[in-house]
Chains A and B, each alone.
Chain A
């Protein structure tokens, strides 16, 4: 019974859904950037509450940055990663640090949600999309930590099984046979990741797309001229 249900569901979730969410992601983010550039903001709430902001936002962001980087490395360099993990000691260290940063993310996320819930000023600037996003992120982080604890050595099996699946998606020839055999928690983690990506363009999460990059190389002062023709990007002075 279960297998029949998943045989219908799996193609939907692992071969159709990714395309739907990526299409949504690109269409909406680009369109939103063009039509409503103003809405691209991290909508920081540090101004309204300073102390708990630190204990939520700092662990969450540093945690998620490291964990995400790990996923990207496993996606881009699977061979090198497997080679790196061939020595058990390296594998242990990698897994342990991944788990630590995962837990850091969870601590930060829970602290942020609690802060949003308890500080009345912050609750006032929290929208429905924020709450949905929080729910999705909580599912994502908790399922990720569950996988890390109960299905260890993910850095290796991700590179061996998930990376080929993801590349098959990129090549427009989805092959999810390796995923179909995965435990439910891993499937949940993957499907929820798609939901996060699909929902992202409708939330404040778009701020990750506009992280400051020319900043590090520009001159300190920015001057914009009207009389001088041509665009006036940051860094021109």
Chain B
């Protein structure tokens, strides 16, 4: 057993209201720079929809991530041989057209325009060329366009749905959609790291955050093609790759990342998971239907004395183990099995998990029939939901429905249980039966309810002390810097000429 710690995340999609506050918080801190204008390290997509960059889930087009071939794990288009051969031009790399051309407006014209019969307008100006442009797409061009023929219809996750199910999704006035906020997944088996010819990308040993060493990045661009989630971006001005850094300067000082901190719906949870790094390759090679369970199985129980002993041996500080014991992510992912990894079939082992959203029941049902639970099957509306199970399974279950159905049944049982307790319009007997059938005890239901609805800041974000000060002291002697230039400078300040 090789225990490592990983700062992991859960996004509770049933609570996301699609307000984009997270995106703006991130944009204002990190990507409001030349060359980074088009980047959204955090973005919120409408599902069904094409996403950002357009159709990023279509791996026939972008060929990102890993694939299993002859019992071996192989990068789909960015293995060593292919990267060397394609180093002058990567055939599957997205270009700016797949994202959008960033723009601003010529606001000065509103003030400077000569007097005339018409109101002056502020024309859109490209932030790349500085010339006027016709806006054709933006970062959220398909926002809320759940039923739209040009955007929602091209969602790669619609594969395998029947025509009837597709129509359900877009029935006029009853169309349905949900929000899908995305940041870097800080994967355990990151394709971006594995593909980098310069070895510029790396995973931090202490907390698993995946970063780009920009002093080593030479713009070979394979990370951009390799990441199946398209969460590594190319700064076209600096000529370097950039990505979500999970706000590590904030985490190191005990604050939640900006997108987490600002989340209005409080959908985001952050905590430590301990995992067995020896099993990464084995787990990533599992057959599609076993992937979700295999990834769960490599997450270790932080209360297990054996695990604690192995963690100490691996040099993990006790504070980190203690944080893992209080981790909300551990509860959602491992104990309750409510949270699922996105597109685990890309085999990067993402460490951001999603609680799948509940949705209204199918539109074509008769109103009365759908609402009441008269049948023996109390969960029949889970499969009759307007977002087809198959769609959610394509997103969160590698195409297999069982894990998604389990998570939705449990969520529903908790709702009915709380309803029986507080509203009282449901028989407690029924609610308890639902809990039993959903594999959930009343105590667990209370905990789920609490962490879902009443969670405080400290419950949602359990940030371990990182002890970076000790770590840095091992590499640099602070005394040496006392009278000189300070950390991070190569030359002393001196006197200006």
Contacts and interface: CB of A to CB of B under 8 A. Distances in A.
A214 B199 contact: yes
Contacts of B219: 41-44, 207
Interface stretch (B84-92, B173-181, B367-375, B441-449): B84-92
A151 interface: no
A225 B199 CA distance: 15
A46 B88 CA distance: 9
A227 B471 contact: yes
What secondary structure prevails in chain B residues at the interface with A?
A: loop
B380 interface: no
Contacts of A234: 198-200, 202, 216
Nearest to A119: B129
Contacts of B202: 222-224, 232, 234
A124 B129 contact: yes
A221 B189 contact: yes
7 contacts: A41-B239, A46-B221, A124-B129, A221-B194, A226-B474, A226-B475, A234-B216
A221 B280 CA distance: 10
Given A42-B219, A57-B88, A229 B474 contact: yes
A114 interface: no
Interface stretch (A32-40, A138-146, A190-198): A32-40
Interface of A (DSSP majority class): loop
Interface string B74-91: 000000100110011111
A83 interface: no
Nearest to B199: A234
B205 interface: yes
Given A224-B205, A229-B474, A47 B95 contact: yes
A229 B203 CA distance: 16
A186 to B, nearest CB: 29
A157 to B, nearest CB: 31
Interface stretch (A19-27, A48-56, A73-81, A92-100): A48-56
A210 interface: yes
Contacts of A44: 219-221, 234, 239
B171 interface: no
Contacts of A57: 88-89
A117 to B, nearest CB: 14
A121 B130 CA distance: 9
B96 A227 contact: no
B468 A226 contact: yes
B287 to A, nearest CB: 21
A88 interface: no
A47 to B, nearest CB: 4
B487 interface: no
Nearest to B79: A220
Given A42-B239, A44-B239, A120-B129, A207 B199 contact: no
Contact of A125 (B90, B189, B218, B237): B237
Interface of B: 80, 83-84, 87-91, 93-97, 128-131, 189-190, 193-194, 196-206, 214-221, 224, 234, 236-240, 280, 315, 468, 471-472, 474-475, 490
A216 B89 CA distance: 19
Nearest to B73: A220
Contact of B129 (A35, A37, A121): A121
A128 to B, nearest CB: 16
A58 interface: yes
A60 to B, nearest CB: 8
Interface of A: 35, 37-38, 40-50, 53-54, 57-58, 60-62, 120-121, 123-125, 207, 210, 212, 214-216, 218, 220-229, 232-235
B236 A212 contact: no
B356 to A, nearest CB: 29
A135 B424 CA distance: 82
A220 B192 CA distance: 10
A46 B90 contact: yes
Given A207-B218, A227-B474, 16 more contacts: A35-B490, A42-B219, A42-B220, A44-B219, A44-B239, A47-B221, A47-B224, A212-B84, A215-B196, A215-B199, A216-B80, A221-B189, A226-B204, A226-B471, A227-B315, A234-B216
B127 to A, nearest CB: 10
Contacts of A35: 490
A61 to B, nearest CB: 4
A227 B206 contact: yes
Contacts of B205: 223-228
A222 B199 contact: yes
Contacts of A42: 218-220, 239
A233 to B, nearest CB: 7
A41 B239 CA distance: 7
Contact of B203 (A58, A216, A221): A221
A46 B93 contact: yes
A104 B303 CA distance: 65
Contact of A124 (B128, B203, B215, B218): B128
A204 to B, nearest CB: 8
B214 A48 contact: no
A18 to B, nearest CB: 28
Given A58-B88, A125-B236, A227-B315, A37 B199 contact: no
Nearest to B490: A35
